[in-house]
Chains A and B, each alone.
Chain A
Amino acid sequence: MGEYVLEMNDIVKRFPGVIALNHANLKVRPGTVHALMGENGAGKSTLMKCLFGLYHPDEGEIIFDGKSINDIPNTKAALAMGISMIHQELHPIRYRSVMENVWIGRFPTRFGFVDHDKMYKDTVELFKKIGLNVDPRAIAKNVPPSQLQLVEIARAVSYNAKIIIMDEPTSSLTENEVEYLFKIIAQLKSEGRSIIYISHKMEEILRISDDVTVMRDGKYVGTWLAKDIDQDFIIKNMVGRDLTNRFPIKDQEPSSEVVLEVKNFTAAAKRSFVDVNFQLHKGEILGIGGLVGAQRTELVEAIFGLRALASGQLYKNGRQIEVKSVRDAKKNGIALLTEERRQNGIFGILSILDNTVIAAQQSFAHMGILDNAKREPAASQSCQELKVKMPNLATPIKNLSGGNQQKVLIARWLLTNSDIIIFDEPTRGIDVGAKYEIYTLMLDQVKQGKSIIMISSEMPELMGMSDRIMVMCEGHVTGFVDKENFDQVEIMRLASSFKK
């Protein structure tokens, strides 16, 4: 074995119409954490899928453990060779036990029957080894998602792989669990295993990785020692240009006029938000900060009429309004851009046109019959204003990048004449370049006298964009921070301060 446990040289992968990987390289040293970075669509996931046997490269060679392998036929072969992968999105089998989820595909057997006792013992041992405290017999759906993510990590470890690929492993973890994950990573490293770590979170990358490889547009940009580089250097290489300002400058103060007031909001569901009160001013961006489980999404969904309230009143421009459904919210000019764009934002197979006008259809129809002479120009104008990059309006929205999909969703709600726009993680899964555009669009809206509520889990984004931050913890508002007092430590303290 040479210097590297894995070498991927000049990998080329073509899809119809695009070259997803154009001579990508990756060299991983044994016993290191190797961060793989790049904007969305840079080809990181594609490269990893080639390594894990999900895709088959058209050109290039893979040298693993000193042996040259041209093609890894399938994931089973990859696992057998010593490559395992933790996927970005969890797909647990919800109604089976945790241990079955861990050992699926390779259940221990006795006389051809599944040996449940051995499976239980193995799982206990595995969890003990990495210090994970989850009941192996619990049903997966009853285990919190963050714990399941750790189970998934345990599973990847259980293959005794030489290389573990982690694709955004921290996206659904809380602060504490992230620390825990890092401990596991350190342990794996000390056992001589290598980890390929994909993440958008720069702070994490610089903290835990030894080497950093950056990719851009399917091409290899370079590999550096993590200790020699900083955040700006990585971003510069990822986008191929200097990014002096990550946030546009907001040159306008919000007015003192209150457009929306939330009073005594308490959810009908148990263990959700309790007694939330706040005011939103005209032209303001109100950030909502908090950790996973702070019930921020639930709160804004209640404001939008998607969740039932036990008590609470909503005032728009001083007048009390009833929002019991999304249609009520729409009538009152409230819009919500959800966190899970693919799950409950876009209609993937429908055209950009249909996606843009869906919320405002009634205004383009007479007696239920659509007026295309009004619909198409309105959609096209709205998409142009938001600089949506698209071939034409008839293109299915799923063909657009995340950033452009988000712009179409903004266009959708601008067509309903909403003046209060709620963004739930507005730049989640959007690459660095497009993020800036989304921020600019948000500021444009505020300039036009609209008001924004923004949930964000990214501290720089929260502090860079908001005029004021409301911090929540376990369903309670634990404080408001004004712009002049923005301080990461203070916000984190508030976000973890509520004790029952």
Chain B
Amino acid sequence: MSSVIKRSSYYKGLAGIGAAILLLGIGLYFASIRTLYDLPVLMVLLGIWITGVNAYRVAKPGVETADIEFNRKTINNFLTNYAIIIAMVVLVVVICVIQPRFMQVRVVLDIMTQSSTKLIIALGICFTLIIAGCDLSAGRIVGLAAVVSTSMLQTQDYANRFFPDLAQLPLFVPIITAVLICMLFGALNGFLVAQYEMHPFIATLATSVIVYGACSLYFDLPPNNSQPIGGVRPDFAALGQTKLFQVGSFPGVSVLIPIAAVITVVIWFVLNKTVFGKNVYALGGNREAAVVAGVNVYATNLFIFVLAAGLYGIAGVLEAARTAGATNQYGQGYELDAIAACVVGGVSLMGGIATVSGIIAGVFVFTIITYGLQFISVSPMWQQVIKGIIIATAVAIDMGKYRKKN
């Protein structure tokens, strides 16, 4: 069982499959079968995407020009490389069969919305993972940003104001203040790592405890005294709740989706097109070699944690806006979700390996599974078990890829 085809014909074939899905979707749309819900629309979108990507690959060939070979080995490789994605597709199909209402544009948009802030955090934490570190303070920094920003963004007539006499500030002032404070704590992380060559695990653990303590102290200030912060200004809440293009029966696109998309593009650019990004990969690939090559290890380390904390800050602000409130418990445990998403997305804990596309996939895998399991009413306890199995399986498969086969 072995056949070889040209790479360009392979892409053409995939584009053809995309076109077929597209056409089938259009056909089903006009057949208007009630029980399929929005499946035709989703098929059209999927078809356009697959066709577009592969048409582009045909038009602009990349570095890889080797022919594609189909045999037992390459198929096995494909299956291991995409095992988690394949498992997810299977799961989605099962959910769709059990509960066809899952096939709605609304569901897809919900999943994307829920992924937005998680993606921003994961993109921050990936920098610390690339240098073979981690960041345990991510969740607490998210919480800090949420508390600080909401505390200064309450409506004038709200009874229980955090700062009773605070004037109406321009929207960006508290937001930028919150993000800057987060970056300051990021700088503390970076300083501990760069100056004392502390392992990021312990440096960020220390910072996370400090941040939580400081956030709780702030939260406990009179007159608030540790009550959940509410009465958030509508212009702030709009930042997380606005729905764009809300016409007719279309549920609208949450503003969080374009925000996350812009940040993703920026981070992709930073990682791939800047000196800093290349230095991050170099540092993770081989720290000693980076020193010998004259990479500014100190500055790179410091900036990694500042940048990451900035992203957590943004995620915290958005989270507060979305929920129109905050407590000091916000963001708790987010760092572990983000690390898990990164790892499932192919980020190596040994450092040096990470792609933005992988991280996006990792985040989506988790959201889709959580959302899907909720949708078919699987108990939250089982959801935890399943999530854990996914993490272990994903990493086991990933390690298998790099392990030498003797």
Contact = CB atoms under 8 A, between A and B. Distances in A.
B274 A347 contact: no
A55 B406 CA distance: 5
A350 interface: yes
Contacts of B73: 16
Interface string A304-330: 101000000000000000000111011
A121 B352 CA distance: 46
B275 A370 contact: yes
B6 interface: no
Interface stretch (A263-271, A356-364, A470-478, A480-488): A356-364
A326 B406 contact: no
A1 interface: no
Given A326-B291, A330-B294, A344-B288, A349 B406 contact: no
A56 B289 CA distance: 34
Contacts of B405: 15-16
Contacts of A358: 278, 282, 290, 293, 295
Contacts of B292: 304, 306, 326, 336, 338, 344-345
Secondary structure at chain B's binding surface: helix, strand, loop or mixed? Answer: helix
B253 to A, nearest CB: 30
A14 B295 CA distance: 39
Interface in B289-310: 289-296
B294 to A, nearest CB: 4
A369 B278 CA distance: 10
A92 to B, nearest CB: 19
Contacts of B274: 365, 368-370
Interface residues of A, number: 36
Contact of A370 (B63, B278, B293): B278
A361 B353 CA distance: 20
Interface in B51-84: 63, 73
A377 to B, nearest CB: 15
Contact of B293 (A368, A369, A412): A412
Interface in A106-120: none
B226 interface: no
B353 A349 contact: yes
Interface string B236-265: 000000000000000000000000000000
B99 interface: no
Which of B276, B294, B296 has the largest count of A CB atoms less than 10 A from its CB?
Answer: B294
Contacts of A329: 294
Contact of B285 (A347, A359, A362): A347
B294 A349 contact: no
Nearest to A397: B285
Contacts of A392: 63
Contacts of A56: 406
A336 B291 CA distance: 11
Given A330-B294, A336-B292, A347 B352 contact: yes
B273 interface: yes
Nearest to B65: A392
Contacts of B296: 327
A256 interface: no
Nearest to B73: A16
B63 A354 contact: no
Interface string A427-461: 00000000000000000000000000000000000
A343 B285 contact: no
Contacts of B295: 358
A88 to B, nearest CB: 17
A348 interface: yes
Nearest to A396: B285
Given A347-B285, A349-B353, A361 B63 contact: no
18 contacts: A55-B406, A329-B294, A336-B292, A344-B289, A344-B292, A347-B282, A347-B286, A347-B290, A348-B285, A348-B286, A349-B352, A354-B281, A365-B274, A368-B276, A369-B275, A370-B274, A392-B63, A393-B63
- In the A-B complex, the 9 residue pairs with the smallest Cβ-Cβ separation, listed nearest first, are A344-B288, A347-B285, A326-B294, A359-B293, A330-B294, A394-B63, A361-B275, A347-B286, A358-B293
